[in-house]
Structure 1
Amino acid sequence: MTDTSSLGARWLAALTDNAAAVPGYPASVRVVDGTLAGMAARFIAVVPDPDSRYPRARNGEVGLAEGWALARAVREAMSADDAAKARRAIVAVVDVPSQAYGRTEEAYGLHQALAGAAEAYACARRAGHPVLGLIVGQAMSGGFLAHGYQANRLIALSGDAVQVHAMGKQAAARITQRSVEGVEALARTITPMAYDIDSYASLGLLYRRLDVAAEDTSRAEAVRDALVDAIEDIGDTRDLADRHAREGRVASHEVRRRLREQWAG
């Protein structure tokens, strides 16, 4: 039985008026076809499945089944729209604690499943689908890279539950040989090490941070309006240049400038 208490599951339901999920996907990947301001849209979320055959993917992590299912959800929408000569919006509702760390997952090609999902989102974006990443909870590690990070625009809700990072605090503590408290202290002085959404917003990667608490699904209409605004802002663009144009990307601009100079030379 699929857990419906996660932020991802709750926001998916709120944004789609509790519409029925598209059948045929694993219990951990919920796909719902709906609309945004009258435009067709496909909403996708990874949700906890305590009955998953993979123990490392029972709490909303993106594992083998999830990676390939995400890729299929995106590519099936692309194929259907090719026939209809349309380009629906694709909304990745993001609440993922990580990828599924496990020997089984690694042995059977977790990296390929995650790459397949990321590539599908990128292909949809390049094909002209407005792809939106809506961060409603955790956006951690390879889970976020596979589900949401390839979006034209990233939008985040507010509050302590909304966190973005390359790895969880326990993993970061092991890698840096610190305690969790030490990692938290480091995050207060080094912005890229921080987990809170305000620090992430300061890096210039978000299109918008909404003043909507992650737990407050009653504000679904305001979030839908923000998604519609993002679609209009995307227009006909198909790349990620918008992220590099925002404040806070000074170093990124300089690195890219130097790379262009070296490439041209």
Structure 2
Amino acid sequence: MTLADILASLFPAGHAVRVTDGLVSGDGPLGASRLAVVGIADRTALGVDGACTLSRHVLDVVQSGDRTPILVVVDSDSQRMSRRDELLGLNEYLAHLAKTLLLADAAGHPTLGLIYGHSAAGAFIATALATRVLAGLPGADPSVMDLPSVARVTKLPLETLQAMARDTPVFAPGLDNMVAAGAVHAVLDPDSPLGPQVEALIGQMGADDIRDRLGLERGGRPVAHTIAARVAQDAGGG
């Protein structure tokens, strides 16, 4: 689905969402309330300027004083690989964007990511993975790091990594692997109206992050849940 298709399915009565220089912002009616929308479109690389702009949009929603849900739509490149962005401290800007989404969640704004195109690396982590719940659409292509990049970092042959990826979802890119690992909670049905599906996901959000549990149940991340539970127990003195 294109972003225009997604917005039409979410807001059949119309919306005030716009795209400027590849960055998405605005809102539209959802049920009896409204849904704020931010994100990245057209496979735009996320640099310091874009991260600041998106952070401002998220903070504006938080400062509104209500508990408007925030949908983060993502079709991006990775973070912008430029000398200027790196010298300005791009990692800190991306971290700030992720923190604004965590702040929104803590302030009572349900945050839902929707990966509908490509995304990778810091851009993926600071947007889609920083939301409370992440959904995907068929055809989405997310990755924390693509295998050729992993090969360059680890010095392992690409063929070896490809073989490992077939058996280890937590290690591998792609929507199916992200679902198996629990990073993506659900894949939405593009042939049905998206508004009710988004409302249902928002309504199901609990107080806890359940990604480790999903990874255990789906067999894609069998150890994380046990380790997290042990850390929580030890931290609590149990």
Query: What's the TM-score bracket when you normalise by the shorter of the two chains?
Result: 0.7 to 0.9
| 2:55 corresponds to | 71
In structure 2, what residue type is equivalent to 1:233? Q
Q: 1:105 to 1:259 in 2, by over 3 A?
A: same
- Are the counterparts in 1 of residues 69 and 109 from structure 2 also a CA contact under 8 Å? yes
Q: Report 1:4-19 matches (<5 A).
A: 7-8=2-3, 11-12=6-7, 15-16=10-11, 19=15
Q: Does 1:156 align with 2:133?
A: no
Separation of aligned partners in 2, 1:222 and 1:163: 22
Deviation per CA, 1:120-154, whole angstroms, max 9, x where unpaired?
A: 10000011111101111123111011112122211
| 2:154 corresponds to | 176
| 1:199 corresponds to | 177
Among candidates 216, 220, 224, match of residue 252 of structure 1: 224
In structure 2, what residue type is equivalent to 1:260? A
| 1:243 corresponds to | 211
State TM-score, norm by structure 2. 0.85
State TM-score, norm by structure 1. 0.77
Q: 1:9 to 1:177 in 2, by over 3 A?
A: farther
| 2:101 corresponds to | 121
Residue 64 (structure 1) shift: 0.5
Query: After TM superposition, what 4+ stretches of structure 1 lie above 6 angstroms from structure 2?
Result: none
Q: Does 1:186 align with 2:157?
A: no
Q: Report 1:81-120 matches (<5 A).
A: 82=65, 86-120=66-100
User: Where does structure 2 lack aligned partners over 5 or more consecutive residues?
Assistant: none
Q: 1:222 to 1:183 in 2, by over 3 A?
A: farther
Deviation per CA, 1:163-217, whole angstroms, max 9, x where unpaired?
A: 22221343223223356555434322322232221122111233212343xxxxx
Number of residues of Structure 1 aligned to a counterpart in Structure 2: 232
Residue 69 (structure 1) shift: 0.9
Separation of aligned partners in 1, 2:223 and 2:162: 24
User: Where does structure 1 lack aligned partners over 5 or more consecutive residues?
Assistant: 1-5, 49-58, 213-218
Separation of aligned partners in 2, 1:37 and 1:149: 25
Q: Does 1:222 align with 2:193?
A: yes
Separation of aligned partners in 1, 2:37 and 2:173: 25
Q: 1:91 to 1:176 in 2, by over 3 A?
A: same
| 2:28 corresponds to | 34
- Are the counterparts in 1 of residues 55 and 96 from structure 2 also a CA contact under 8 Å? yes
Separation of aligned partners in 1, 2:164 and 2:77: 21
**% same residue:** 28
